[in-house]
Amino acid sequence: MPDPKHARRSRPRHAPRRRTQRARARRPHAIDLAGRVAVVTGGSRGIGRACVLALSAAGADVVFSYRSRAKAARELERRVRAAGGRAVAVHADVSRPRDCDRLVRSALLRFGRADILVNNAGIWEPEGAEVATLSDAQWEKTLRVNLDGSFYCTRAAVPAMRERRWGRIVNIASTAGQRGEALHSDYAASKGGIISFTKALSTELGPHGILVNAVAPWWVDTDMSHDTLEREGPAAGESSPLGRVATPEEIAGPVLFLCSDLASFITGEILNVNGGTILCG
């Protein structure tokens, strides 16, 4: 009789974990993503890292991209594996179409499928600029990563989802895309584009069993915003009725929900996770 500790190793590399009826019946309201494969962009830190951990904890195999933080990416791989999951880090720049194709192809080669895509990778320049002085380079870089990258990864992932007639795409938007953000028109435009992109895809891909939604956070305590939040201190969270900014895990939870069967009749929605700062209808 095989040693149970080595049962995982005996599976073919591409074999997904089984979703048994018995397991689903035992936890009817639990989020169970066993057998699903998720692709997360910008997964080595912040919201992306929290998403990798949440998806893996729910049973999904995860392939995630990183651009410059190789050490953090490898540490995250090891943490997922230590918890009994499977995760693969792929060096990729989402502003490059070929890198996005390679990222999704890595999931298909390693696990045989790509069911979930979380378009999280994004940049934000802390030092704002008036539109009259905003450089072409900054405008193009921000949109290239935040908006074009989501398009490139989605384009690469959709064929595999359509083939199985099941897919979940979750885009990370922002309150900046809903109300604008002075001195950060590049970022606001990119996130406003993500919101419209989400709505367009929801109607296009719904007939193929693919649900497309977005999560729109307010301030989140990540590396990207750390310096600004540190500079502003407690005042940074005062405009929220909750009196604080969000943690990455508080964004990953709603992302996980949208990837699950609990959200099987939700598509084209912008889920506002902003602590009550912007009350959008």
pLDDT of 13 = 53
Between CA 58 and CA 84 the distance in angstroms is 11
Question: In terms of pLDDT, which residue wins out, 7 or 137?
Answer: 137
What confidence tens digit (pLDDT) does each residue in 52-103 have?
999 999 999 999 999 999 999 999 999 999 999 999 999 999 999 999 999 9
* CB 254, CB 267: distance < 8 Å: no
Per-domain residue ranges for the chain?
31-273
What mean pLDDT is predicted for residues 209-235? 84
Question: In terms of pLDDT, which residue wins out, 234 or 196?
Answer: 196
| Residue that has been written with the tokens 């905003």 in this structure | 134
User: Across the chain, what does the average pLDDT equal?
Assistant: 90
The closest of 37, 2, 1 to 16, measured between CA atoms, is 37
Rg value, the chain, Cα: 19
Q: How many CB atoms lie within 10 A of CB 93?
A: 17
CATH architecture, domain defined by 31-273: 3-Layer(aba) Sandwich (3.40)
Buried b (16+ CB within 10 A) or exposed e, 5-33: eeeeeeeeeeebbeeeeeeeeeeeeebbb
What confidence tens digit (pLDDT) does each residue in 250-278 have?
999 999 999 999 999 999 999 999 999 98
Annotation marks residue 187 as catalytic: yes
DSSP character for 148?
I
pLDDT of 8 = 44
Least confident of 20-24, 45-49, 219-223: 20-24
- Cα–Cα distances in Å, from 124 out to 23, 138, 279? 42, 10, 23
- Residue 138 makes CB contacts below 8 A (sequence gap 6+) with 125, 129, 186
Between CA 2 and CA 12 the distance in angstroms is 16
**Identity of the amino acid at 16:** P
pLDDT of 224 = 76
pLDDT of 6 = 45
What confidence tens digit (pLDDT) does each residue in 109-130 have?
999 999 999 999 999 998 899 9
Q: How many CB atoms lie within 10 A of CB 166?
A: 15
| Residue that has been written with the tokens 């977005």 in this structure | 214
* CB 170, CB 215: distance < 8 Å: yes
Q: Which entry of 66, 187, 197, 218 is annotated as an active-site residue?
A: 187
